[in-house]
Amino acid sequence: MERELREKKVEKLRELGINPYPHKFETTHEIHKIREKYERDPEGEEVVLRAKVKRISNYEGKKLLRLTDESGLEILALTEEQDLKPGQEYTFKGRLIRHEGKLTLADAVLTEEPPDATIAEIKKAYDFDPKGERVSIAGRLVAWRPMGKAAFGHLQDLLGKIQIYLRKDLLGEERFKFVKEFVDLGDVVGVKGKLFRTQTGELTVEVEEIELLSKCLHPLPEKWHGIRDVEVRYRQRYLDLIANPEARKIFLMRSRLLAEIRRFMVDEGFLEVETPVLQPVASGANARPFVTHHNYLDMDLYLRIAPELYLKRLIVGGYPKVFEIGKNFRNEGVDTTHNPEFTMMEFYAAYWDYRDLMKFTERLFQHLVDTVLEGKGEVEFEGHRVNLRPPFRVVRYFDLLEEKTGKGKEFFLRAPLEELVKLATELGVKKPEALTRAKLIDKIFEKVAEPELVQPAFVIDFPKILSPLAKEHREDPDLVERFELVVGRMEVANAYTELNDPKEQYRRFLEQLEEKRAGDEEAMEMDLDFIRALEYGMPPTGGEGIGIDRLAMLFAGVNSIREVILFPAMRPESGE
């Protein structure tokens, strides 16, 4: 087995007095920094180019071509043209971009137009001569092409990949042999040498010194297909990150998303705070909690289902604008849009109402589009082009319900329960007779309205019975001043003008207890200390929660929450 062979190499290195896991390697550059220094982004410049096709391979449903000129210089091309043959010359028209660091003619099509560029000219304009600069870099060896007395490979770090070139005469007999004998694909290595460009024009380190930094005892996943098995990708995310550039990209984007949200909030004068994850009362949302136990205090605690009630205590305490980004835990099903622990941002602003929150949310989205998506406001989500650029559609909850069912607010709030059950049954809601009125309305809404909400939409003015923490609507006592932002059929944000009347809040909690008795396991719990806090006076306040995982799904254009959570919840592996 490969593993034993590699373990033997480690032992042998130790016998030779070489540490296979050294403590330190001094680097001068991250790999992408070198590329940035000697490569310019062609930004999609259109060119017409005549060149010979050297090789054709398949890439994500398209053809990836290596194009070459007489001198051997190369660039890549991505095309959907079918009848190309290696060795033939063609004239292509396309947009110049960088694809994994290499100059690439994207969307290349065959054309009759006269060429307006040569590979040499393009290279000269965008790929610069590094003039033998000395660098010291480290990374994982992800490709290895030994050729007798020389060898090529690629070193990869988080953001970049660079070719290395080893020559026996330059490296010396002994060290060349060492590499051949002890360095394997997958190892982490450090190299020192001079930068140059090969005949094809690829930026390359001509290696003068090479050091093994960490041995990889397992063979790497296959270089062309990466790792496809989703189970392995989630359980061994490190392999996914090593082998699949797409996965690296998604989590870099998520990290950027979080950073930009924080930046925006702080720039808007919000204070980042942390409230308890372990809570004696699980409230602030409709969900079943995880229970844990504190040994010293000898008491059960809940993992929070929401930070809401604590954040509002801070508004009472005099912090006018607070936000918290953190994990919530809900003891419920696992599927493509639900993970038992998930990341939320909640924020509260004194003297705001839900209208202010809507405007603010639009500005936040605009900021995220400008930064994370670099101005590209459209994303592909579940086969739809979703435009994340504000302003967003605004639609009233009961207007949407009426449009879809023909029944108005009066029906839903005051018709005999049997009639709602009947409607719910017609719409295919399961076990409607077991549901309370509030749950029935909620289900019917989800059934008829949410499937329509692909483009971003604020659904506003929810029924009061669905919103125990929201303030009564100033124009209609049946409603509350609340909105949900729905995008791609997912609830992405939920916000309201906060209820700050302690007596009213107490009554609403009692109603929740009533709901709980009626069989709704997710109804909220009474939090008496929160009531006491409100009794000291909470200013009029707007509060909002944004689901970060779902936002990341949208921005990444993936339809599974597990694609945007590094280590999603999984059952343990059997047999381990």
Partner RNA sequence: GAGCCGGUAGCUCAGUCGGUAGAGCAACGGCCUUUUAAGCCGUGGGUCCCGGGUUCGACUCCCGGCCGGCUCACCA
Site for RNA in 294-353 (CB under 7 A): 330, 332-333, 335-340, 342
Considering the complex, what minimum distance in angstroms separates the CB of residue 73 from RNA?
A: 9
Should residue 494 be labelled a site residue for RNA when binding is judged by CB under 7 A? Answer: yes
Q: What SS3 class is residue 94?
A: strand
Segment 497 to 526, residues that bind RNA, using CB under 7 A: 522
**Binding-site member from 35, 93, 313, 439 for RNA (CB under 7 A):** 439
Q: What SS3 class is residue 216?
A: coil
Nearer to RNA, 64 or 273 (CB): 64
Q: Alpha-carbon distance 414 to 479, whole Å?
A: 13
Report which of 75, 87, 82 is spatially closest to residue 61, judged by C-alpha positions: 82
Residue bearing tokens 């508004």: 315
Considering the complex, what minimum distance in angstroms separates the CB of residue 397 from RNA?
A: 14
Should residue 152 be labelled a site residue for RNA when binding is judged by CB under 7 A? Answer: yes
**Binding-site member from 14, 228, 294, 532 for RNA (CB under 7 A):** 228
138 DSSP β-pair partners: 190
Should residue 229 be labelled a site residue for RNA when binding is judged by CB under 7 A? Answer: yes
Q: Alpha-carbon distance 439 to 515, whole Å?
A: 9
Which tokens hold the place of 53?
């096709």
Segment 158 to 177, residues that bind RNA, using CB under 7 A: 163, 165, 167-169
The piece of 42-50, 130-138, 226-234, 397-405 that touches RNA (CB under 7 A) is: 226-234
Should residue 60 be labelled a site residue for RNA when binding is judged by CB under 7 A? Answer: no
Residues 175-194 vs RNA: string with x where CB under 7 A? ---------xx---------
* C-beta of residue 127 within 8 angstroms of C-beta of residue 19: no
Residue 348: φ, ψ to 5°:
-135, 135
Nearer to RNA, 25 or 196 (CB): 196
**Binding-site member from 90, 92, 144, 323 for RNA (CB under 7 A):** 144
The piece of 107-115, 146-154, 268-276, 392-400 that touches RNA (CB under 7 A) is: 146-154
Should residue 61 be labelled a site residue for RNA when binding is judged by CB under 7 A? Answer: no
Buried b (16+ CB within 10 A) or exposed e, 494-524: bbbbbbbebeebbebbebbeebbeeebebbb
Buried b (16+ CB within 10 A) or exposed e, 313-350: bbbbeeebbbbbbeebbbeeeeeebebbebbbbbbbbb
Nearer to RNA, 69 or 184 (CB): 184
Q: How many residues bind RNA (CB under 7 A)?
A: 85
Nearer to RNA, 57 or 425 (CB): 57
SS3 labels along 233-298 = HHHCHHHHHHHCHHHHHHHHHHHHHHHHHHHHHHHCCCEECCCCCEECCCCCCCCCCCEEEECCCC
Strands 490-497 and 62-68: unpaired
Segment 543 to 562, residues that bind RNA, using CB under 7 A: 547, 549-550, 560-562
Segment 235 to 294, residues that bind RNA, using CB under 7 A: 285-287
Considering the complex, what minimum distance in angstroms separates the CB of residue 150 from RNA?
A: 3
Segment 102 to 131, residues that bind RNA, using CB under 7 A: none
Q: Alpha-carbon distance 98 to 45, whole Å?
A: 11
**Binding-site member from 86, 146, 408, 519 for RNA (CB under 7 A):** 146
274 class by beta-carbon count within 10 Å (0-12 exposed, 13-18 middle, 19+ buried) = exposed
**Binding-site member from 269, 428, 477, 537 for RNA (CB under 7 A):** 428
Considering the complex, what minimum distance in angstroms separates the CB of residue 186 from RNA?
A: 8
Q: Alpha-carbon distance 156 to 31, whole Å?
A: 8
Segment 74 to 103, residues that bind RNA, using CB under 7 A: 74
The piece of 20-28, 201-209, 266-274, 452-460 that touches RNA (CB under 7 A) is: 201-209
